[in-house]
Amino acid sequence: MTNQTNVKLRLNNSELWGGVIGLALGGFVIWSGMKLKLGTINDPGSGYVLFYTGILMCVFAGAIIVSAVTEGGPTLASRWENVRWSKPLLLIACLVAFSVALEPLGFLLSSIPLMLLLLRLIDPVRWTLAIPIAVLVPSGMWWALKRLLLIQLPSGLFGIG
Amino acid sequence: MDTLINVAHGFGVALLPVNLLYCFIGVFIGTLVGVLPGIGPISAMSLLLPVTLSGTPESGIIMMAGIYYGSMYGGSTTSILVNIPGEAASVVTCIDGHQMAKQGRAGPALGISAFGSFMAGTFALIALMLVAPKLASVAIAFGPAEYFSLMVLGLVVLTFLTQGSMPKALLMACIGVVLGLIGLDSITAQPRLTFGRMELIDGIGLVPVVMGLFGVAEVLLNTEQAIKRDVINTRITHLLPTREDWRASAGPVGRGTILGFFLGILPGGGAVVASFASYALEKRLSKTPERFGHGAIEGVAGPESANNAAAGGAFIPLMTLGIPPNVVMALLLGAFVIHGLQPGPLLITQNPGLFWGIVASMYIGNVMLLILNLPMIGMWVQLLKLPYNILFPLIILFTILGVYCSSNNVFDVYVMIAFGIIGYFMRKLGYEPAPLVLAFVLGPMMENNLRKSLILSQGDLWTFVQRPISGVCLAFAIMLLVAPLLPSLRKKRELVALDEGA
């Protein structure tokens, strides 16, 4: 790894950020454990294990931070070097849009556009193949689940499905 | 004699038409997910977990087990023909398997892989029949302290074997424990970390977590690069290895089988560790180690036998102690729990039909796999030509449906998508999901056993050290935690460290 991609005390050191997030999570778990009551060692309460797990999380996150500061680590940008970073981003956007649309639109009206987007946006499949797959696969699955396994998928505000 | 009677009883259960059908579906899907890169046994098992509800516990668990050991067979096909491992345990098969295929010896490579797998699978089953009942009778004496320490050891072994730094793996395990504790406290019924949401009262489901971390995150990672497949196009002939091939492979198959079986039993171990260990062993024992990496049949025979034997061995801790030694077994535990069954020392005596039925079905499944993987190899080769840009939207759709069907709850779909995104960033930053998932399953059991043993011992922490089995487990766990601090051991760990999640 070059000096450009392996940095020590810089804010773009990805290892440092991983450790900081771990430390924050650990702090939150300790606080939650204390709020739930620790109990005693003879009779541990609901927060007992959470509290000590939180402490362990802080210790391990601390070790990650120390190693990031002393040994350095790859920069955040280098983690996405030489890859098509926009593709997973597009996929994430499609999934988030799908999760927002699922309840109001129902399974069929949300999954057909999702499939079409995935087939066309990431590594485009030709339209003549993308459209039949996007329509037939979700419809076929919906039919099989509804008729054969008697599982009701979300039908949304329009009651389609 | 008792064992023979039990085995006969098991075959009686396994040979019921419905169970044969479920077994076939399991091994077929297992081979399918093994062959297809980008979807592994973990994703397939979590996808089909809800389907197990429709039949008897025997049928459902027979199918789930079939997916696991079936994927071990299927994974080798992709490794040999495409040089892309179908699942993590077949990574090492790529090295020599694909070289053999390039030299026009794809047939013997596939043949020895299938025969070696069959022999190893058979040995593992016989050993499972003999060892499991004995271990179960010993395990009855286990108290909460032993269970707690054994689970701690399992988690530490897995974090030790996981790729990347050990503090990262341990942090993941701790996060897994915390996620597992979300929901009502099993002792005081107090809600924990539910943030006032009713959906979280019962905790987060295993299926959405696993599907997100392994299924969706894997697809996100795969879309970063255009997957190019260099499928061997020549006709595959001579699947039966020659006498010379057999002579070269007999030792590796035998050693791989025994090594794999014992590594499979160890908590935290499994098929992936076994295949790597077997490859290293064969290379070290070989008089011509320079052939390894250039198409040595021993480099295919050993690891393929080891990963199948390990898949069989991994059933022992689950069936006898109720402790899943790896993520796949954690999912199988989920299938038991869905049917109201608790694997553990009493399972064999209370449900002999179930235990021996599963064991017998695994033998039948191995025979089915031999037929599926040798005469029908052409079908799997055709499947390998399915482009990934068509495959991944289907995987996404199936994961969404699988998660929704497991609970009939849209909230679980949100959880899966969230864990998919988290899992993607985790992997990008070098955090492996396997310790998180195993800790997620073991977390509630660990907490329960820890609190029980503290209550029973009136707060005496020495109880974990004074009880011999517990003490030994904790001593091993501490040794493994300290080991990476020593430079020589750190290097060794890096050599065996692996990506269990792929």
Task: DSSP for B17-84, please give it.
Answer: HHHHHHHHHHHHHHHHHHHSTT--HHHHHHHHGGGGGGS-HHHHHHHHHHHHHHHHHHHHHHHHHHSS
On whether any CB of chain A is under 8 Å from the CB of B396, the answer is yes
DSSP letter, residue B234? S
Q: Do A137 and A96 reside in the same domain of the chain?
A: yes
Ramachandran angles phi, psi of A6, nearest 5°: -120, 105
Question: CB distance A44–B454 less than 8 Å?
Answer: yes
- The identity of residue A60, as a single letter, is F
Residue A90 lies in a domain: yes
Cβ atoms within 10 Å of B1's Cβ, excluding its own: 5
Q: Does A57 share its domain with A95? A: no
Co-location of A67 and A95 in the same domain = no
Q: How far apart are the C-alpha atoms of B270 and B272, rounded to whole Å? A: 6
Q: B400, B452, B462, B490: which to substitute to probe chain A, counting the most A Cβ within 10 Å?
A: B400
Is the CB of residue B32 less than 8 Å from the CB of residue B383? yes
Cα B311 from Cα B373, distance rounded (Å): 17
Number of separate domains in chain A? 2
Same-domain check for residues A72 and A15:
yes
User: Above pLDDT 70, what percent of chain B?
Assistant: 91
In a domain? residue A157: no
pLDDT at B235 over 50: yes
B473: phi then psi, degrees, rounded to nearest 5: -60, -45
In this structure, the answer to whether residues A90 and A71 fall within a common structural domain is no
Element (H, E) at B230: none
Over residues A19-38, the mean pLDDT reads: 94
Taking CB atoms and an 8 Å cutoff, what residues of chain A touch B401?
141, 145, 153
- The share of chain B scoring above pLDDT 90, in percent, equals 17
Asked if the structure places residue A155 within a domain, the reply is no
Domain membership flag for residue A43 = yes
Lowest average pLDDT, out of B95-99, B335-339, B497-501, goes to B497-501
Predicted local confidence at residue A35, as pLDDT: 93
Q: Residue B176 and residue B431: Cα distance in Å, rounded?
A: 12
Taking only the tens place, the pLDDT of each residue in B422-439 is 999 998 998 988 889 888
Residues B227, B270: contact at Cβ < 8 Å?
no
**Residue A59, in any domain of the structure:** yes
Q: Are the beta carbons of B97 and B303 closer than 8 angstroms?
A: no
A1 lies in some domain? no
Spell out which residues of chain B touch residue A54, defining contact as CB-CB under 8 Å: 178
- Same domain for A72 and A96? no
Domain check: are A71 and A91 in the same one?
A: no
Those of residues 373-392 in B touching chain A at CB distance below 8 A are 387-390, 392
A66 in a structural domain: yes
Domain limit, last residue, from A79, A99, A127: A79
DSSP B308: H
* Average pLDDT of the residues in B266-289: 79
Mind spelling out the 3-state secondary structure of B241-271?
A: CCHHHHHHHHHHHHHHHHHHHHHHHCCCCCH
Q: Which of A60, A79, A98 is the last residue of a domain?
A: A79
Question: Do A75 and A12 share a structural domain?
Answer: yes
Q: Which residues share a beta bridge with B183? A: B192
Give residues 28 to 87 of B whose Cβ lies within 8 Å of A.
Answer: 54
Same domain, A74 and A112: no
**Domain span holding position A42:** 6-79
Residue B492 has pLDDT above 80, yes or no: no
Q: Is residue A158 part of a domain?
A: no
Give the closest residue to B343 by CA, choosing from B64, B11, B149. Answer: B64
Residues A52 and A24 in one domain: yes
Minimum distance, in Å, between the CA of residue B451 and any CA atom of chain A: 6
Q: Is the pLDDT of residue A3 over 50?
A: no
Chain B residues within 8 A of A133 when measuring between CB atoms: 390, 393
Q: Are residues A57 and A96 both part of a single domain? A: no
Q: What does the DSSP 8-state code read for residue B194?
A: -
Of A79, A96, A129, the domain-final residue: A79
Whether B405 sits inside 8 A of A60 (CB atoms) is: no
Q: Is A58 found in the same domain as A100?
A: no
